[in-house]
Structure 1
Amino acid sequence: MIKVLVADNHPIVRIGLETALNNNGITEVIGSVSTTTELFNALSTKNPDVILLEMDIPEVNGITALRRLKKDQSDIKVLIYSTQAEDVYALSTLRAGASGYVSKTASLDTLIDAIKRVANGGMFITNELAQRLAFDESTNKPRKLFRKLSTREIEVLKLLASGRRNKQVAEELGLNEKTVSTYKARLMKKLNVDNMVDMLQQAKALELY
């Protein structure tokens, strides 16, 4: 059995995942948590084969939590499970150390297949995403601009788009305010804008909020 630790803020989602993953003869949920604090505490006593991590889990965002997980245990396998746009976030999470990305709109069979692949040391993205990443979508400017952004820039942009001030972004990501200002300047340049309003419009086009 593949041991899975579920990290998701929504009780109904956690219950649904436990029910589905405990009744297929392949996977077993050995714990479920709702915050990153609970996640890191759980890992002191549990040894999952795969962590199923929600992108918007409370306290710190999923990419930041992912970085910490990989820093603490480089061989840990993390599968991101999220409602966020796949072609925006999948690449960023893979760069940060995730072994795969599954949309919450995916079927149960797809989720189980992803868990199996990740548990066996593989990577998982959908065929649709692989095809989109393989071609230059010349008619989809926001997505093309996104590909210029680093994982850290995506994190900063998401937090700014959610209404955080520079100081709050700095605290959440473990940066200083001057560094956050530098990231904002880089974001404006890469997204071809010269003010915050237009930058946040780009964030909306990228479905960051």
Structure 2
Amino acid sequence: MIKVLVADNHPIVRAGLKAVLNDSSDFEEVGSVSTTTELFNELKNASPDVILLEMDIPEVNGITALRKLKKDYPDIKVLIYSTQAEDVYALSTLRAGAAGYVSKAASLDTLKNAINKVAEGGMFITNELAQRLAFDESTNKPRRFFRKLSTREVEVLKLLASGKRNKHVAEELGLNEKTVSTYKARLMRKLNVDNMVDMLQQAKALELY
């Protein structure tokens, strides 16, 4: 069962999420807070797997709160659940450490899928965002990132993007962990990124080709 802490300043949203989460055998709501002060106080006692964080939560802006969460509680996955359209904040929150971004306009099935995916160690972004990431904004032409990758590199990238750790990637492909680490470094170099967030965003775009 995935333990979820809800951080949202709207009482109706908190009540609705509590009902949805506790009505499922897959989830358990372990806390509900309306400000960042309440959030960090709650984390002194609660140990959620996933935090649903509203970007407009009072006291500290969402990006600052997210960075502090990732610094103080690196093992907790943070899923942004916001009224803000994803094209406004999604990229910046992912780079700040969020494991995914879901608009409140999305369906409950999408939200549940996102919670499951990030809890398992993956990253959640919508197909719409992936498509924007796959196109060069200056030319509006597809970024053909993957033409320069070998078949094995694509296999490694897909497994990493699905949330698998180096050890599990190695086991599935019959490699050792050191080799997987080498592939990961090579992928970052070829895709011209310097962090896993950007690499996984580009991996999501692979689904479009």
Provide TM-score, normalisation by structure 2: 0.65
Question: Structure 1 residue 32 and structure 2 residue 35: aligned?
Answer: no
Structure 1 runs (4+) greater than 3 angstroms displaced: 137-140
**In structure 2, distance between residues paired with 1:113 and 1:107:** 10
Partner of 1:177: none
Residues matched between the structures, number: 140
- When residues 38 and 135 of structure 1 are mapped into structure 2, their CA distance, relative to the original with a 3 A threshold, is same
Give identity over the alignment, percent: 81
Q: Could you list the runs of 5+ residues in structure 2 that have no partner in the other structure?
A: 141-209
Partner of 1:167: none
* 1:20-67, Cα deviation, whole Å (9 max, x unpaired): 111121111111000000000000000000000000000001110000
1:58-73 alignment to 2 at 5 Å? 58-73=58-73
1:114 Cα deviation after fit:
0.2
1:137 Cα deviation after fit:
4.0
Partner of 1:90: 90
* 1:175-196, Cα deviation, whole Å (9 max, x unpaired): xxxxxxxxxxxxxxxxxxxxxx
**In structure 1, distance between residues paired with 2:138 and 2:16:** 39
Backbone CA RMSD of aligned residues: 1.3
* 1:93-123, Cα deviation, whole Å (9 max, x unpaired): 0100000000000000000000000100000
**In structure 1, distance between residues paired with 2:45 and 2:29:** 14
Structure 2 letter corresponding to 1:134: A
Q: 1:24 is paired with a residue of what secondary structure?
A: coil
Partner of 1:50: 50
Provide TM-score, normalisation by structure 1: 0.65
**In structure 2, distance between residues paired with 1:34 and 1:81:** 13
1:9 Cα deviation after fit:
0.1
1:88 Cα deviation after fit:
2.2
**In structure 2, distance between residues paired with 1:112 and 1:57:** 21
* 1:58-96, Cα deviation, whole Å (9 max, x unpaired): 000111000011111222210000011202211100100
Q: 1:78 is paired with a residue of what secondary structure?
A: strand
**In structure 1, distance between residues paired with 2:103 and 2:139:** 24
1:10-29 alignment to 2 at 5 Å? 10-29=10-29
Q: Could you list the runs of 5+ residues in structure 1 that have no partner in the other structure?
A: 141-209
1:21-170 alignment to 2 at 5 Å? 21-138=21-138
Partner of 2:205: none
Structure 2 letter corresponding to 1:11: P
